[in-house]
Structure formats: structure tokens, C-alpha cells
Structure 1
Amino acid sequence: MTTAITRTVKVASEEVDANTKRGGDLRVTLSPKTVGCTSGFGGVLTLEPGDHITEHYHPYSEEFLHIVEGTLTMSLDGEQITLGPGDSLLVPIGVRHRLVNTGDSTARGAFHLSPLAPRPELGHVDTEPAQHPAESNPDVGGTP
């Protein structure tokens, strides 16, 4: 039996540590570890011009991405898709993806992944080396 969340839980992005392992500044704000949710996790991302999130895929989860600011290019199994403010993108389960800030200003977005992998360490499969492997934050409750 699962326990339903019966109260509103607000988390400010400044309250959680950044995960920069794959590049950029990823902050998982809503997750099993931060708020006790059970169906997925989400948060916000910031990428400076020229920065990127290294390629990976999710064997159990779809990823939903919404761009708030800046110009980004998402590679989905090698296909390039340009994204700007107001654009949303679905990354299907098992699709390799890599996100690059191709603009000349800071890019910001929000993401959500669902459903959860059976265990957090099974949620992501890297297909290229992490940019900053020592900068992983295992306490964020899931990393995009």
C-alpha cells in the first residue's frame, strides 16, 4: 500500500543542490527524496551558451522538457531539433538524447520524467562520458 501525499509541498530551486555531472545546472526539485512523490520526478535546468548535457537515455521513463528561455538544440537518436521559449518536447523511453545551448544567452527550462525506474541507479544510461563525474549529487532523488 502506498501513502498518498495529502499536503501541498513547495520546493524552491535554490533549496536543492545542483547536479552538474552531465553538464549544465540541473536541480531536481520534486522527487521521491525531496517531497515523497511516487510517479516521477522533475525540476529545472540552466545551460550557459555552448554548454551541453551529455548524451544518455532513460530505459524506464519518458522525459518531458519545456523551454522557458534561450535557444537549445536537442539531439534525439541523432536527429537535431531546435527549441526556443514556449516549446515543449517529449523524449520517449529508450531514445538517446543530448541537449546543447546553441544560443548566445543563458537557457532555462523545466523537465519531468515518469514513470520512475525500479531503482534510481537504473534511471539513466550514459552513452558518452560525463563532463564532471565527480560533481554528481546523489541526494537529489533522481537526475535528468
Structure 2
Amino acid sequence: MSRSTHLVRIRSADVPGSRRQGGHIRALLTPASAGTRAGFLAEAVLEPGETVSEHYHPWSDEHLLVVEGAVTLEIDGGTVELTTGDAGFVRRGARHTMRQHGDERARVVLFLGPLAPDPADGHVDTVPVPHPDDPPPVVGGPS
């Protein structure tokens, strides 16, 4: 990580990922890592057949950009397919899951905002997670 008064650079490869929900999720620009207060930026990598388990965010809208591969979003019972270059949006409170489809890995950039008052309140799992012993991504509070 490189940090100055106005610029923070985080290398994705330097951030430990979490497999707790499925896939491989790295919280990159967060209150803990960059001092951001508007939201946080993460990367999700899903190998063929992987799914991020159903959940919702009580405080945050989720913005997605598929930068590689293809995913299917299931949102409150509806589905939408996104491929490289497509963007998606999930309103706060909407139950959703993301499933990789196709033969190649999917990489998705996620931005969630605004932040919950406490990081523990920002994410609610609605089904059992596939890897409960893996800690969730570190978002942290304001620095």
C-alpha cells in the first residue's frame, strides 16, 4: 500500500481475500485501508461454477462492474446476466446472490455505499455461508 495525503494506492494482490461467502472477495479501498467515508471498493473473483451466497446490505447500495467473464445476479427473485463491460446495481435491502456462468473466471468490481454506522451492521447473510470459518473481508470503521 502506498499512501499520501490525497492518494492511496492498494494492490489487489497484497490484500487477503475472503472465501466466507463463496468466490474470493477482497475489500480494497475501505475506511480501514484508505480512510474513505463514502463507501468501499472491493473485487470479487469467481471461478467457473462459484456462487456468492445470498445476503443483503441494510445501509448500502451495491454497484457492480464486470471486468472479466460473466455472472448472473439473482435479486429478490429476479435474474439478470452481466458480461464483461456490463454494470449492475442492487438497492440496499434487496436480497441478492452472484453466480459465475461460462467457462472462464469472472472478476467483478464492487462499490458499496453509503457505509453502515458500524461495519458489523453492513452485511446480513440470509443463508448459511459456504466457508463459515473464513473471516469476512476487513472493512473497518473511519480512520
Q: Which residues in structure 2 correspond to 1:1-144 (within 5 Å)?
A: 6-137=5-136, 140-141=138-139
Higher helix proportion (structure 1 or 2): 1
TM-score, L = length of structure 1: 0.91
**TM-aligned CA deviation for residue 132 of structure 1:** 0.2
Q: Work out the CA distance in 1 between the residues paired with 2:30 and 2:44.
A: 15
Specify the code of the residue in structure 2 equivalent to 1:123: G
Q: For 2:104 and 2:37, how far apart are their aligned partners in 1? A: 35
CA distance in 2, matches of 1:137, 1:98: 16
Asked if the contact 1:50/1:102 (under 8 Å) is kept, the reply is: yes
Deviation at 1:6, TM superposition (A): 3.6
Q: Secondary structure at the match of 1:135?
A: coil
Contact 1:65 1:110 in 2 (8 A): yes
What TM-score do the two structures reach when normalised by structure 2? Answer: 0.92
Q: Structure 1: which 5+ residue stretches go unaligned?
A: none
Q: Which has the higher strand share?
A: 2
- Give the aligned length: 137
Contact 1:17–1:137 (Cα < 8 Å) also in 2: no
Counting aligned pairs with the same residue, the percent is 42
Unpaired runs of at least 5, structure 2: none
Instruction: Report Cα offsets for 1:73-115 as digits up to 9, x if no partner.
Output: 0000010100100100010010000000011110111000000
The Cα of 1:71 is off from its aligned counterpart by 1.3
In 1, the alpha carbon distance for the partners of 2:90 and 2:46 equals 18
State the superposition RMSD in angstroms.
1.3
Offset at residue 137 of structure 1 (A): 4.1
* Amino acid aligned to 1:40: G
